[in-house]
Structure formats: structure tokens, C-alpha cells
Structure 1
Amino acid sequence: MLNDQVFRTVRLPVGGGKMHKQAGFASILLILLIGLALTTLVIGMVTSLRSLQDSSLTTHAQTQAQIKSAIGYQALTGLLKPLSATQIAQINNGVIKDNGSPAATIATYKVVTTTEGCPDSTGGKNYFCYDITAKSGGASSVVRAIYTDITIGGGAFNGSIFAGGLQVGQVRNLQGNQTIQVGNAGQGNGIVSGNGSNSYTAEDFFDQTGFTVQAYQPTTFLTAEEVRPYANYIFYADGTCAKNNLYSVNTAGTAATITAETTPAMTITIGSTSVACNSIPGITTSGSGSSKAWTIDAGNSLLPVGVLWFQGTVTIELTDTRDLVNTIIATGIINVSSENGGSTNKAYAPNHYNLEAETNLDTKKARICGSSSTGIPTQYCDTTGTLKALDTELAKIANILFLSNSDINFKVKNKKTMSLYGNIMGSGGAGGTGFSSGKFTGTGEINVKGNLSFTGTGITATNGNVNVTLNSGNSSGNVTPSKKVMILSSFRYM
């Protein structure tokens, strides 16, 4: 009875059990919603990262492809530069590979025709167009390079050039029959200055000397570096030497051609080896690096024929016991002296020796071309040691006697005579006190049959005690080599 009464008086909250069940379900729903949101966020982040990674990979691949196409362009340019227009016209397509083992392909190239956008060749200019294609991953890059060939240097002389001006010690000490071009020497174009404040108009100078005087017209000739591939014996400032462009006899006694240099690279070899400098007679050296200097003993009967090329300063000691018959080229100053010579001292450019020297043909042949046992210059002599016609640019180097990137100085003493046959070219000689493009000093006679070309900014000067005569050379001896070079006229990514 009691228990029943107690039970009847107990009051439970209405719906209490139901409320607890709803609260638990809501919590579960909240947790599920939060988890779903986090899952969605994570999936979004993963998707974004994956997209960024793909984008990064694509960008990286495209960048690599562009780098490879640029490398391919550089390689193709190096291939084309030393070639003639005729040779380049034969190159249609190819593959550019690295130096690995095995070699991997960097890029490919193919010619672009005029119908595909290459300009027509006109006005003496030839255009050559190539598309260079490189791939990396799934990306590719195409570069279109348009080249044109231009001619630098060369042409025929029409007298002598003094771009930085001409200064004479006394008018009577400079005579001749040439047309001369005179630049600004502080007195005005076409004006020749004398000692002190004296100056001469073109008419005055012609009346007293025989020269026709004109204002200088800017002219450029090839530099020492540009004609180095045309040389036969090469002397570097680091003390190494090389031969080039020669026919010779190998140990078996059969004719062998020394491979000519095809690019202006610093390594020049006979087959695969350079030459010891002391194996080339008649030339001594002193100093090193930028102070490297060379001396040529023109009287040495073993001095080789051909074009001698020097990196540095060169002094040429002329003598009356043996004429110099060579082309001498230097990056530095050239000094020509007859102080230790006899009464008459002569130097000839090879072709001018053929034109001027009074000697028999066999002697001329030996002096100009040498022999197979000593080496025959291939630029202007054939395999029999006979002078070629000067109808190629390489052969025309035989008309140059001296060529310098700096200035050229001539010294004759004790009333001796120095006779020079050929074209003499100096492109340096900065202006300023004590600096000249050309200088003639001494107490003797200097006779030039050929053309002087001093295109530097320094004055060409003669002192008042040396007599200089400039005579016009043979017309066939007036031409000098030119060079066709390939230049980039357009470059763009396609």
C-alpha cells in the first residue's frame, strides 16, 4: 500500500526521456557537419595544390624549352657565321646536340622560305631564315632567327688616308703623286699642318708637293683579329704559336694539306697539334701578356714565307742583305727600322714583290710561295708554289705589307734608304700629345710604293729631317681583302 502510494505521488518531467534523445542526435549532426566542412576544405586544398603543381610543371617545362631554343639559336649562329652565302644556302635543316655521351638533342632547326615569311634577298644582301624548335616535357618553344650577310672592309685603295690629320716637319720633306685624304687635325678637313702654327690649304700643298688633297671620307678595313684566319704563322701573347693555311710534306713524302681555320677560335692546329715558337726561325720574343713584344730579323734566310700574325707589339729590323717578302699583321704597334741595315733596305708585300722586284721568276716563286718542304701559303699560292690570281678574298691579303690595330712607326738613320712596297694599314693611334697613327722619323729616305691608310684619331707626322715619298702603286696591287659576316637582323619567339 505504501509503495503504491509513493509511486502515485512521484512526478516525472513530461517528455523527459524524449528530450535526451534529441539532444544526442543534434550533437551527432553538428559533428558530421563540421567533419563534412573540413573534408570539403581539405579536398579543395588538395585540388588547388594539384592545380598549382601542374601549372608549375607546365611553366617550368615551357621555360626549359625556351632556354633550349635560345641555346639552339646560339649554336646555329656559330655554325653560320664563318660560312659563305653559297654554303649557307645549302643548309636546310638539322639537329643540334650537346656534347654528352650519348649526345642528347637540344633543338632542331629548319629553313624558312620566302613564302613562309623570310624576306627576299635584295640590294646585295642575302637573307637566311631558320626556325629553331626545342621541347621539354609537354612544352615546346620555337625561335625564328633571320640572318643577313654584310661585307666589311676591303675594296680598292685610291691613294693614302690620314684620318687623324697630317703634320709635316717641312713641306719639301714629303713628296709624291698620290691623292691623299686628310681628316681633321685641328685645322679643318683637308688641311695639312706644318711645324708650329703653319698650315697649308689643299691648293698650296698640291703646288709644293704634287699631292691632290681631299677631305677624309670615313673608311674601315679589316682588323688584325678579322684577318687572323688568313694567316700562316701565328704568335700569341701567351707564348704559344701555330701554323695555318699551308701545304706541306708529311713524313711519307706525299702532299698533305694543313687544315685551314674555319672559325676565329683561339686554337689553331696542324692536324691536332700547335707549333713551338722556337721552331719558327728569324723571330725572337720578350715580355709577356699585354707587354708581349716580338722582333723579326728580316735578314734571316730561314724566315718563313707567308703571312705572319702577332698578338702584341712587333719590331721589324730591315737589312740590305735580304729583302723582307711577307705580310706582317699585329694587334699592337708595328715598328719598322733600318738602323742596323745597310744603305738600301727593302720590304715587299708578297704580290708587290711579284709586281716590282727585278729578279728571275724562279727566285720570285721561291720568295713568295716557298716550297713543299718549308710550307706553301694556300691563300695565294697553288700546290706547285705558283702565285694564284688575286680573285679571292684570301688571296688579296698578299697585297698587304703591314697591318696594325694600333699605330705604325718608321725610323731610318744615317742617310740610309728604306723602300716599302705594298699597302700599309694602321687602324689605331689615339689622339693626344705624343700619340700618333703613323710616324716617320730619322735622317734618311723612306720611299713607299703603295698606299698608306691610317684610320685612327691620331695625327700622322713626319719630322723635318726624313724625306718621305709616296708613289701610287700598281692598280692590281691596290685591292685588300674584305669579309662577309653573318649578322642577326631579326629574332623572335613564334
Structure 2
Amino acid sequence: MQKQTGFASILLILLIGLALTTLVIGMVTSVRSLQDSSLTTHAQTQAQIKSAIGYQALTGLLKPLTATQIAQINNGVIKDNGSPAATIATYKVVTTTEGCPASTGGKNYFCYDITAKSGGASSVVRAIYTDITTGGGSFNGSIFAGGLQIGHTRNLQGDQTIQVGAAPGGENGVVKGNGSSTFYDDQAQFTLATGITVQEYTPTKFMTAEELRASANYIFYANGKCAKNNLYGASIYNTETEPVTCSSISGITVSGSGASKKWTIDAASSAIPVGVLWFEGEVDINLNSSRDLVNTIIATGDMKVITTNQSGAGKAYAPYHYYLEASTNAATKKTRICGSSSTGIPTQYCDTAGTLKALDTELAKIANILFLSNKNITFDVKSNSPMSLYGNIIGSGGAGGTGASSGKFTGNGTIDIKGNLSFTGEGLTVTNGTVNVKLNRGDSSGNVTPSKKVMTLSGLRYM
């Protein structure tokens, strides 16, 4: 019996050791599991980071492209800048049958799945882009969004189709006569009397003066400073702040200061530079029969176009319309549109040799604009000084109500317009006095004006 002494203690120690062994094994297994979980979480996080980087890179690729160009991009690989370059993510187009919205209402949708991998984890991000184009485009006909009031049918003649919105009072008629409640609801009768076909206004948005400032050649600020831009020279000026002395630009004067500053353009001056003239504030444009105006004029404030008493028509041409319509020889047209030397040539629509470019870029299309104002445009014509305008005229001002107009035709002479006359503000466009306006259908290539493409993200989610 003495030989069994301490056996219970040994069993107890063995049991405790076994328990400790089990505990250690369990802890090792748990730690290993936690390590695997941590590695998986880390890999998933890295994959998600890479897919986010891939999204940013793809967005940068698509933003400057046209809808036609984007539609040709089906898949690709996104790599870093290392040597050798490592793959960050891949992308693949998503079709409408796979869940991408169908393009509609002027909006184009483009969808891509962006896939990134890290370790054994992967992350897929679906990006839905919306390509919205506003302003310009190709159009043919005039627009009077805030309504159109004419005194007599002879006040408006032509061969255009015009879009007319409701007058400020909300009347159903689209063209108003003699300031009374008589409306030309019988459009067939109105067309027969005037040659103008009337349609209901479809909302249209053109680019503003501010949006087009970067596309101008000479910029006149309200603070009295001026700049030149988009001009060939010793170097190509491509900023909006290249200084130039305002007084050095002949043919353009200024009066007033601050908010009341007004610029005046004397079209008779042969020193007016070629290109696009951009003004912050109001602008008066004095046309003269002694010399045609060949420029694009853009203003943030009200614009007034005037013919002085003279024996002959005051003519104004948008640069490209001068090429289309002027009866002068080719060499003269080239000089008036692009300049006569190797410096000061507008880069938007002329090449270094002074030859007109094709209007296949948004910058070049500005050559089809004659006048553009963020506010109202008034035309004042004298009986012995008719006005002939060639190009697209765009005004977006006029708040509506009594006394507010988007466009106004005054005087007792004749205004011939070959191009599109577009007033998109809420104000009523009116013809006063005995002024006669003729809207002539322009050349189709001259109907295109600059537009603005905005690429926005309408959806982003992990798949």
C-alpha cells in the first residue's frame, strides 16, 4: 500500500497539464484564425482602395472626351507609374441589358465596372456617368422664349421657323399685335402674311458670357484692366490675364466706372482688332456704312446696336459668316477674319497661316456668334441707315413683366438678319415704331454655336 502514495497528486497534475495543453492549442488556433481574418480584411481593404483609385483614374480619362469617343471605350487596364508598371484595376463597360440606364432627354449614360484585386480579395465598383451637353449645338431658326409682340405683320417678315413662348401674362397666343388682346392663333394665316412659321418654344440653354470668356481674344474688365488671349504671336497667349493696355485698342472707348461702366465700339475704325471681343458691363455698338464690323461681340451687360444717320447700310458679320456671305475676294476675307500679319491671329478658328479652320471644335464654333449678351439686346435703326446683321445673335436677359424685354427693335428703318436670333430670357421681345425686321434663313454650317459638356457621376456603388 505504501507504493501508491502520491498517485492522486500525479493524476491531478496530469489533468491540469492536459487542460493547459488544450487551452494553449485553442489559443494558438484562435490566434491563427484571427491572423487569417486580419489578412483577409486587410486584403479586402486594399482591394477597395485600389478600385477607388481606378474609379478616379477612369473619371479623369472620360471627362475630356465626347460621347462618341466614350462609346468606343469598352474595357481597359489601369496601371501605376512604377517600373515595371503594376496593375491597379481593370474596367469593363456595362450595357443597358446589364443595368446601365438608357440615354434619353439629352443625357447620355455610360457605365463601367471597375475591378481591383489584392491577395485573395477583390472589389468591384460600378460607376454610372451622365454626360449632359448644354447650349448651342446645331439649330436652325429663331427663339423668343418670353413671348413676341409685334405692332403689324410688316414688322416681322422672313423665311424662318421661330419658337415662341407664352407672353408674360400667360396668354395662349404666341404673337401679339398692337399691344391689344388680339393674338395670331391661326398660325397658317400668320405664316401666309409674314413668311414666318411659328412653333411652341422648346427650352434651350446657350452658354453664358462668363462661360465663353476663356474663348475670347480681347477681354475688357469692369475694373479698367484688359487682357488678350488665344492669339498666335511670339508665343500663344492662352490665359485670361495676359495684360494689355485698354487704351491701346483703337475703336473702343469707355465711359463711366464700376457698375455703370459702358464700352462703345465704333465700327468705322479700322484699328479694331480681329477676333472675339469680350466685355464686362454694357456695350454700345455703332455700325457705319463706311466699314463693315467683322467680330464676335460678347457682353455680360446690356447691349445696344445702333446705326447712325448715314446714306448706306451698317453691316456686321460674325467671322465665319463673313466668310460665307461677304461679296469681297478671298484674300480680303482672310485678312478681315484672321488678320494681316503673323501675330494677333485668333487661335480658335484660324491657323498660323491665317487660314480659317473647320468648325469642328467648340472653340472654333464661336466664330458663328455675332452678338451675345447675358441681358438684353436693343436694336435702334434709322430710316436712311438700314442694318444688316450676319450671324447668330443670343440674348438671355429680361426678367419679364412691364418694361422688361429680352430683345427690343426700335426706330423706323429696316433690319435684315441672316442667321438665328435667340432670346432665351423671360422678358417679352417687342418691335416698336415702324421698324421692320426680316429674319432670313442662314447657311446650315453657320448655325452651330459652342456648347458645354458636363460629365457628372450619377451613381457609384460596390457590387
The TM tier, using the shorter chain, reads 0.7 to 0.9
The one-letter code matched in structure 2 to 1:318 is: L
CA distance in 1, matches of 2:421, 2:335: 27
The one-letter code matched in structure 1 to 2:180 is: G
Displacement, 1:193?
Answer: 3.6
Match of 1:19 in 2: none
CA distance in 1, matches of 2:66, 2:232: 23
Match of 2:455 in 1: 486
Match of 1:447 in 2: 416
Displacement, 1:292?
Answer: 2.7
For the 8 Å contact 1:114–1:120, the answer to whether it is kept is no
Displacement, 1:471?
Answer: 1.0
For the 8 Å contact 1:111–1:129, the answer to whether it is kept is no
* Higher Rg of the two aligned structures: 1
CA distance in 1, matches of 2:275, 2:223: 22
Change (3 A) 1:169 1:246: same
1:437 aligns with 2:420: no
CA RMSD in angstroms, aligned pairs only:
3.8
Displacement, 1:290?
Answer: 2.9
1:196 aligns with 2:168: no
1:414-425 aligned at under 5 Å gives the runs 414-425=383-394
Aligned mate of 1:268, from 240, 253, 271: 240
For the 8 Å contact 1:119–1:127, the answer to whether it is kept is no
Aligned mate of 1:125, from 82, 90, 108: 108
1:213-224 aligned at under 5 Å gives the runs 213-224=198-209
CA distance in 1, matches of 2:221, 2:358: 31
CA distance in 1, matches of 2:65, 2:258: 32
Match of 1:286 in 2: 255
Displacement, 1:418?
Answer: 0.6
Superposed CA offset, 1:317-361 (max 9, x none)? 111111000111111111101125543110001111111111111
The one-letter code matched in structure 2 to 1:442 is: G
Match of 2:191 in 1: 206
Change (3 A) 1:110 1:407: farther
The one-letter code matched in structure 1 to 2:132 is: I
CA distance in 1, matches of 2:184, 2:109: 46
The one-letter code matched in structure 2 to 1:170 is: H
For the 8 Å contact 2:174–2:184, the answer to whether it is kept is no
CA distance in 2, matches of 1:307, 1:258: 14
For the 8 Å contact 1:306–1:326, the answer to whether it is kept is yes
The one-letter code matched in structure 2 to 1:216 is: Y
1:378 aligns with 2:347: yes
CA distance in 1, matches of 2:445, 2:260: 37
Moved more, 321-330 or 191-200: 191-200
Match of 1:296 in 2: 265
Match of 1:3 in 2: none
CA distance in 1, matches of 2:113, 2:181: 60
| TM-score of the superposed pair, with normalisation by structure 2 | 0.74
Match of 2:156 in 1: 174
CA distance in 2, matches of 1:171, 1:325: 31
Superposed CA offset, 1:294-329 (max 9, x none)? 111111101011111111111111111110001111
The one-letter code matched in structure 1 to 2:237 is: I
Moved more, 469-478 or 482-491: 482-491
For the 8 Å contact 1:327–1:350, the answer to whether it is kept is yes
Aligned mate of 2:227, from 218, 242, 257: 242
Q: How many residues align?
A: 395
The one-letter code matched in structure 2 to 1:238 is: N
For the 8 Å contact 1:293–1:314, the answer to whether it is kept is yes
Aligned mate of 2:427, from 446, 458, 475: 458
CA distance in 2, matches of 1:493, 1:284: 59
Match of 1:162 in 2: 144
CA distance in 1, matches of 2:285, 2:414: 17
For the 8 Å contact 2:148–2:174, the answer to whether it is kept is no
The secondary structure found in structure 1 opposite 2:438 is strand
Match of 1:306 in 2: 275
Displacement, 1:240?
Answer: 1.9
For the 8 Å contact 1:166–1:193, the answer to whether it is kept is no
Match of 2:32 in 1: none
| TM-score of the superposed pair, with normalisation by structure 1 | 0.69
CA distance in 2, matches of 1:307, 1:343: 26
Unmatched tracts of structure 1, length 5 or more: 1-69, 96-108, 132-142, 251-255, 260-266
The one-letter code matched in structure 2 to 1:438 is: G
1:10-29 aligned at under 5 Å gives the runs none
Of all paired residues, the percent bearing the same amino acid is 64
Aligned mate of 1:410, from 376, 379, 385: 379
Displacement, 1:391?
Answer: 2.0
The one-letter code matched in structure 1 to 2:181 is: S
The secondary structure found in structure 2 opposite 1:355 is helix
Moved more, 415-424 or 192-201: 192-201
The one-letter code matched in structure 1 to 2:210 is: E
The secondary structure found in structure 2 opposite 1:257 is coil
For the 8 Å contact 1:189–1:216, the answer to whether it is kept is no
For the 8 Å contact 1:437–1:455, the answer to whether it is kept is yes
Change (3 A) 1:195 1:391: same
The secondary structure found in structure 2 opposite 1:195 is coil
1:428 aligns with 2:397: yes
